[in-house]
Amino acid sequence: MADITVYLTRTCPYCIAAERYLHGRKLAYEAIDVAGDQPKRRWLVEQTGRTTVPQIRIGETWIGGYTDMMALVDTGELDRLLAG
């Protein structure tokens, strides 16, 4: 199974929803809180081209935020990515 990393802030409702989804599927993930960490936020924007959180990476693939992840769920693509 591919590694999952979620870059988030603890007060973001979409971040909380992403964690709940992953937890509900019993998927292990690393949560990295970027609140107040401007160097990490700049790095995240450089990596993703986005300024919003959450930003989710599966393996080496950036999939976007919560709604992007749920779109992948709907198409079955998330499971393919997780299979690595």
For the domain that residue 67 is a member of, what is the CATH number?
Answer: 3.40.30.10
Note down the domain range covering 10: 4-83
**Residue 84 pLDDT grade (very low, low, confident, very high; cuts 50, 70, 90):** confident
pLDDT of residue 1: 77
Q: How many domains does the chain have?
A: 1
Q: Report phi then psi at 50, rounded to 5.
A: -125, 150
| pLDDT above 80 for 23 | yes
Assess contact for 69 and 22: CB atoms under 8 A. no
Query: CA separation (Å) from 60 to 14, 50, 82?
Result: 22, 16, 11
What the block records as the tokens of 61 is 């693939």
**Average pLDDT value over all residues in the chain:** 97
